[in-house]
Amino acid sequence: MNKRVGILTGGGDVQPLNSVISQIKIQAKRENIEVYGFLNGWKGIIENNFIDLSKISIPKNIGGTILRSSRVNLKNIENSSQIILENLKRLNISYLIVIGGEDTLSNSFLIMDFPQILISKTIDNDVG
């Protein structure tokens, strides 16, 4: 089986997100890695709502995110870490790329045992 990566975008929508998603997809294809996108950020992983990005075209010249976004605080959802880990395991996701600001990225610390790449989209240097 190929390696599989998951991507999510969270927080406010910003212009370059589709471009970032597109570039991840291009590089992953070169390395024979499957890419799944979770819809509506962390909510998408919790609800197991995803798309296979290899089957769609990503408009890298159109701003925003095709994955949509949400503001979810995993601390407010019972068993969120366990649900997320189970859903990632069920989909055979090898690692997760999390794109967002302080709120989105801070959720990553609740699943520290899972490999993640954090991409900050904040401009005010507020990511601890």
Query: What would you report as the CA-atom Rg of the chain, rounded to the nearest whole angstrom?
Result: 14
Asked if 124 is an active-site residue, the reply is yes
Q: What's the CA gap between 5 and 69, in Å, rounded?
A: 18
Q: CA 7 to CA 98: how far, in whole Å?
A: 6
- With CA atoms as reference, report the closest residue to 9 among 119, 128, 90, 113: 119
Active-site residue, selected from the candidate residues 52, 113, 124, 126:
124
Give the catalytic positions in this structure: 124
